[in-house]
Amino acid sequence: MRIRLRQRSVVVLAIICAVFSVALSGSASAQVRPKMSKQADRPEDLLRERWSKEVDRQYQSTLKSIPDQPQKKADPWSNIRSSTPTPK
């Protein structure tokens, strides 16, 4: 009698473990992103790529045309500090 009871409990425990593992693996597989194949030979993608390169080229040329301005040293206390030193 005891042997059958142990066998049943082992079988029930194995079934419970199998159910939990299936339930947990389903939620874990939902976190994995599927691999998407890139189809770069589509005309829309080629146009978008050329357009983005042209926009980037124009942006870089615009940045080069802006003159460099000298950076002033940041002094957050300049309006509080007096211009003449205090005598000691």
For residues 48 and 42, the answer to whether their CB atoms sit within 8 Å is: no
Q: Model-level pTM?
A: 0.32
Q: How far apart are CA 7 and CA 15, in angstroms?
A: 12
Q: What is the pLDDT along the chain (88 residues), one digit of tens a residue?
A: 556 667 788 888 999 989 888 877 766 666 666 666 555 567 777 778 888 889 999 999 998 998 888 878 888 887 787 667 666 6
